[in-house]
Structure 1
Amino acid sequence: MSDDARAEQPDVLPESFARVLADYERHLVLERDLTPHTVRAYLGDVAGMLEHAARLGCADVGEVDLRTLRSWLAKQQSLGRSRTTLARRATAVRVFTAWLARTDRVAVDAGSSLGSPKAHRTLPSVLRADEARDLIAAAVEAADDGSPVGLRDIAMLELLYATGIRVGEMVGLDVDDVDRDRNVVRVLGKGRKERTVPFGRPAARALDFWVRHGRPALVVDGAGGALFLGARGRRIDQRAVRTLVHRRIADVPGAPDMGPHGLRHTAATHLLEGGADLRSVQELLGHASLATTQRYTHVTTDRLRRAYQQAHPRA
């Protein structure tokens, strides 16, 4: 949960609100199977709205109407919340009121008519194909001593770029999740949805070298089947991977600074530029909505426009 959301979450809610919020938490955890982080974020946003409703005199969720929701959103805006934050919180509340109506806790879904400012959508920074090659080369050069950590770093960068998986998905991988006969990796994504993602020969070679020569030198009791290990021999954490990516990106002249998610953007963009269809890329990335994948078409269109302007004599 963000600091803002945590600060705004009330210590005490009216009993009727608290009971509904507890039921909603069980729904998010047991029925929707959301991650603890996502559950906390949803609850923080909804609890803030309910606190505002209580201050306006509402004692039951059935009394929370559209006017109340708009008043709450206006209060958020007056506090200087960004458009992105306002959009996210409005979405969280719309999901909550839809659940209230679906479970017959209210007669009318007040949030169905709640609008919110559209978040500014910026195109993600991505590497060019030559910069991606230079990134891997930088990792290889940094690991010229053949150290286990160096072999691990090469394998992680190769896999992130080859598959476009999320950093959280990668650190959660076990050795048995990699199928070397088919060159695919089994990934547990958001909502604990499992998908299978292919990878190419360079990533396969790097993984083989890490598993055979690097991992055995680092692994300690308690590591379990973790594929990638930290310096102390246990499952690596996301912060270490982010630090690695930023460090190696800095070795590539002119490349935009980015973390693991930037490599995910890069993989998606290069797949589309190489001719992959949108639905296939959606499946590979594990996007629930095709609209999320479609933003990468804007990146490739933007690149095409720049190339046209640079190359065509009458651009």
Structure 2
Amino acid sequence: MSNQIILLNHVPSEDHQTYNTDAIIPQDVDTTWLLYFRPQDAYRDFLAELANMASSKTPEKHTWRVYNGGLKYWFDLVGQAMPTKSLVTQYITHLRHQKEWGQGKRGLAVTTIGSKYLAPLRKYLQALAGQDIFTRVDGSPLTNQDRAFVMDAREQIRAAHAVKTPKPEVTTNRAALDVHGERLTMLQVQQLYDTCDVSTLAGLRDLALLYIGFNTGMRIAELRRITLAKIKQADTCYQIHVRRKRGNHDPISLDETGFRLITKWIERYNNSLPSDDPRCITADRPIWQSVQFNDAPFPIDYKGTGMQMFERGISAESIRAMLRKRASLVNTGTFTEFPKFSPHDMRRTVAAIARNSGMDLTDIQGILGHKSLATTGRYIGKPEKPERMLLKHNWTIPDIPTQPHQTELSEQALSEAV
């Protein structure tokens, strides 16, 4: 019996991808359930729910892309088999041990499985189990035997929906310390700043972008959403009002230096263009713009993905390329290379530097826009000092005298007891 992957014929074919992995079900599956249930309608309901999410109203559509990709992986893997508890359990096992990612690596983390694969699958299964079935798909009336089958199949789909995300092998109330990512030091951040030649357009832009990234901890998508109209002056600083993760619109504080760098960059960029040029950065246009290798703005008719480049601003990949370039220009003065870091590592760096300077965890949580303190702890990436976990108090405790014939515990005895 072949274990060839069966592509689900009712799933839209755009951006379809066949994954190089073994199927978890045989090819000759029982498709009786397709006489009653309409997976294509459930998939459309799934897409409609995604479209109503706040994140789907942004150009990036992060959640839409991740969820849709995760569900398509399920379709490619299981084909036309009816979703059951057993099938979903096998699917999770496949993801944990066989799913390929990176450079030949296999097996996904439990958190990745839950957020990128099981979350969209549950939405699809919920829509599938909730379908009203009054006739067969071909329009013929249901018999009593049909109704019994539909009832049983619906229960099996609901059981598949109820399968829980597996627990991680190791649990703790503290954030994991062996997390991926880099946390640069204050010196290393300064070294990056020093590579920027502010006499050039690209150098001034990169310095401003680096400074904002390392001072606000904004995500790459949030950085790209900044416009002049979204920067407001508060009592003691400036505030950036952009949409953050999961629809969060909490303002992001910006100091005077950051605002000055932004205005200097915009002035320099606009002065390189005619005053009536549509490429000029205006109140509602993204402030970060791409610059050519000759240090000039891109031509007015140059198009990016779907729109003119100056309308969408700098791309996420261009920001990543800029970070790689700046890291390569740093002269460490030693034989060691400058750490390779990503845009998200700027957030980790902000968390680590803020904590090292004594900032409270809840304040760092607010800067990064986290819902959970545990997540903030992972970004800091180092253990809390043990003395910080001691309760500070002003209680008076009397001295405890040593009784006659009582031997005091020495440090050596305590260490041996441990």
Output the CA distance in 1 between the equivalents of 2:382 and 2:210: 22
2:227 to 163, 171, 174: 174
Q: CA deviation at 1:178?
A: 2.0
2:166 to 115, 123, 138: 115
**1:7 partner letter:** T
Secondary structure at 1:6 match in 2: coil
Residue 207 in structure 1 maps to residue 258 in structure 2: no
**1:227 partner letter:** I
Residue 148 in structure 1 maps to residue 201 in structure 2: yes
Output the CA distance in 2 between the equivalents of 1:164 and 1:31: 24
Output the CA distance in 2 between the equivalents of 1:218 and 1:243: 25
1:230 to 286, 290, 298: 290
Q: Is the 8 A contact 1:173 1:227 kept in 2?
A: yes
Residue 47 in structure 1 maps to residue 47 in structure 2: no
| Cα pair distance change 1:193/1:7, threshold 3 Å | farther
Q: CA deviation at 1:264?
A: 1.9
| Cα pair distance change 1:209/1:48, threshold 3 Å | closer
Name the stretch that deviates more: 115-124 or 291-300: 115-124
Partner of 1:257: 340
Q: CA deviation at 1:218?
A: 5.0
| Cα pair distance change 1:285/1:6, threshold 3 Å | farther
Residue 197 in structure 1 maps to residue 252 in structure 2: yes
1:38 to 63, 68, 71: 63
Partner of 2:318: 240
**1:41 partner letter:** V
Q: CA deviation at 1:41?
A: 2.3
Q: CA deviation at 1:158?
A: 0.9
Q: Is the 8 A contact 2:71 2:121 kept in 1?
A: no
**1:83 partner letter:** G
Output the CA distance in 2 between the equivalents of 1:24 and 1:192: 20
Q: CA deviation at 1:239?
A: 2.0
Output the CA distance in 1 between the equivalents of 2:128 and 2:94: 28
Output the CA distance in 1 between the equivalents of 2:217 and 2:126: 38
Q: Is the 8 A contact 2:217 2:346 kept in 1?
A: yes
Output the CA distance in 2 between the equivalents of 1:202 and 1:173: 16
1:88 to 95, 98, 112: 112
Name the stretch that deviates more: 279-288 or 152-161: 279-288
Output the CA distance in 2 between the equivalents of 1:236 and 1:69: 41
**2:63 partner letter:** T
Secondary structure at 1:179 match in 2: strand
| Cα pair distance change 1:157/1:93, threshold 3 Å | closer
Secondary structure at 1:113 match in 2: coil
Secondary structure at 2:381 match in 1: helix
Residue 28 in structure 1 maps to residue 50 in structure 2: yes
| Cα pair distance change 1:226/1:36, threshold 3 Å | closer
| Cα pair distance change 1:156/1:215, threshold 3 Å | farther
Q: Is the 8 A contact 1:21 1:43 kept in 2?
A: no
Q: Is the 8 A contact 1:125 1:262 kept in 2?
A: yes
**1:228 partner letter:** W
**Runs of 5+ unmatched residues, structure 2:** 1-14, 21-30, 131-153, 171-175, 292-296, 299-309, 386-418
Q: Is the 8 A contact 2:243 2:249 kept in 1?
A: yes
Q: Is the 8 A contact 1:249 1:257 kept in 2?
A: yes
**2:47 partner letter:** E
Q: CA deviation at 1:54?
A: 4.7
Q: CA deviation at 1:113?
A: 2.6
More helix as a share of residues: 1
Partner of 2:212: 159
Output the CA distance in 1 between the equivalents of 2:200 and 2:180: 37
Name the stretch that deviates more: 26-35 or 128-137: 26-35
Partner of 1:128: 185
TM-score normalized by the length of structure 2: 0.59
**Runs of 5+ unmatched residues, structure 1:** 59-63, 303-315
Q: Is the 8 A contact 1:73 1:90 kept in 2?
A: no
Q: Is the 8 A contact 1:73 1:86 kept in 2?
A: no
Output the CA distance in 1 between the equivalents of 2:41 and 2:165: 24
Q: Is the 8 A contact 2:244 2:250 kept in 1?
A: yes
| Deviation sequence 1:131-181 (CA, Å, 0-9, x none) | 112211221xx23xx223322121111111111111221122111222355
Output the CA distance in 2 between the equivalents of 1:74 and 1:244: 39
Output the CA distance in 1 between the equivalents of 2:169 and 2:111: 6
TM-score normalized by the length of structure 1: 0.76
CA RMSD of aligned residues (A): 3.5
| Deviation sequence 1:3-58 (CA, Å, 0-9, x none) | x983249xxx9662221121111112214544534223212322333454555x41
User: Rg: which structure is higher?
Assistant: 2
Partner of 2:17: 6
Output the CA distance in 2 between the equivalents of 1:67 and 1:114: 14
Name the stretch that deviates more: 108-117 or 126-135: 108-117
